[in-house]
Amino acid sequence: MRLVRYAAAAVLIVFTRCSGVQAAKTGVTPALSANQVVIWDYKFKPQALTVPVGTTVNWVNRDMTPHTATHRSFSDEPFDSGNMTANQEYIHTFKKPGTYSYLCVLHQGMTGTIVVQ
């Protein structure tokens, strides 16, 4: 009987430890702070962000997969985070008003927009 209790406790500990990462992926988005875009579950969150001129926006990758935040342009402010691994951050200060559409070059269905007023 004692062996069964120990085995049950060991199974419970293993599942509790392993499920922590999985539970985080099942719908709980990490908290956002002002002027921050979180990359999570193959999405930019928020997908659209409006900020005043001179604002520094921070992107943080909370996925296990590398991602980029890339805006390529010849007429306004281009930016490119390069490959951001898990928990890596990138910042860009927007100096001109405009609408900046960006994407992840590794997963081109991932898109976002920064509107600078």
66-103 tens-digit pLDDT: 999 999 988 888 999 999 999 999 999 999 999 999 99
- Alpha carbons 9 and 38: distance in angstroms, whole number: 36
Q: Residue 104: is its pLDDT beyond 60?
A: yes
Where residue 18 falls among pLDDT bands split at 50, 70, 90? very low
Q: Residue 7: is its pLDDT beyond 60?
A: no
Map tokens 């927007």 to a residue. Answer: 94
Residues 65 and 83: beta-carbon distance below 8 Å: no
- Alpha carbons 31 and 44: distance in angstroms, whole number: 13
Is CATH 3.40.50.150 the classification given to domain 29-116? no
As a whole number, mean pLDDT of residues 11-15 equals: 40
Tell me phi and psi for residue 44, to 5 degrees. -90, 125
The number of helix segments (H) and strand segments (E) in the chain equals: 1, 9
